[in-house]
Amino acid sequence: MLSSKDIEKKVLALNIIEDIVTAMKAYAGVTIRRTDDLVENTRTYEKNLLFAMSDIMSHYPGVSVNEQSKGKRILVAFGSSQGLCGSFNEKMADFVFEIITSNDILFVIGKRLKLSLELKHITYGDYSDSVASINGIQSSLKETVSKIMNLYNKKEYYNLTLIFTSIFERRAEISVEQILPPDIYKVGILRPTRIPPFTYIEPKIIFEKILEEFLFISLYRCYVESLRSENWYRLRSMDGASETLKRQLQNLNSIQMYTRQEEVTEEMLEILTSGRFF
């Protein structure tokens, strides 16, 4: 049976773990709050870019997106490189396993997601680390865009699709969005302006620049959404860990009190039977 001192050491260790869990919960909560407005703003910006593409395509019929109906897709799956976020990466791996075909090449973002995919024997074309904070997105994004465009510029690839986890009404959902070429139907339903834009730059050049910006901001939003979802999972996981720690501490405190009483009783019996009072 453990002594009261041994139990006290265990209580101290659990208290330290509880402090770490509390700190992780606080950090996850702050990250979620910081990404909430950012996601909405980037979605609005994406919509404006689609509107600009619709405007140019409407007034300049010669400018359009080259569409292909054959070739391979590039699938970009967003996961995490950090742990303690529950089933975040496993659910993404399960989803990718269900939709990937032999005509797809997979680009993985996140070390943990890569490991989950490898356990399912899913092959991937390239890999990049995920980010731990909003501040790290910009540098990681440049590397990711460069790698993806190197693949996309090859003739055998015709479609770029992003797979990421979003949070809607307090639940997590995996979303699939085609980025390149842009969804022509989505662009077509936007109402263009009646007056053609006045510019001295060639419409084709403007369109290409908007397309590049659309790719960049779409990937940026997916990084942000994935970071928010990862921390949403982590917060839920830490909430569960916090409740478990509280129960363990309560049990240990009860055992410690009982053990201490037993030790005091034994000490008194030893004193009484030692003959010191006679």
pTM: 0.83
Whole-number Å distance between alpha carbons of 278 and 269: 15
Class of domain 37-226 (CATH, top level)? alpha beta
Model confidence at 269: pLDDT above 80: no
* Burial (0-12, 13-18, 19+ Cβ within 10 Å), 57: buried
Model confidence at 5: pLDDT above 90: no
Pairing of strands 72-78, 157-168: parallel
pLDDT category of residue 10 using cuts at 50, 70 and 90: confident
Q: How much is the average pLDDT of 43-49?
A: 89
Q: Residue 207 has which token pair?
A: 């369109």
Give me the pLDDT at residue 191, please: 66
pLDDT category of residue 192 using cuts at 50, 70 and 90: low
Give me the pLDDT at residue 11, please: 82
Give me the pLDDT at residue 69, please: 55
Give me the pLDDT at residue 219, please: 93
What dihedral angle (degrees, nearest 10) is formed by the CA atoms of 220, 224, 230, 232? -160
Contacts of 43 (CB under 8 A, 6+ apart): 221
Q: List the domain boundaries for the chain.
A: 37-226
- Apex CA 41: angle with CA 77 and CA 158, to 5°? 35
Q: How much is the average pLDDT of 162-172?
A: 90
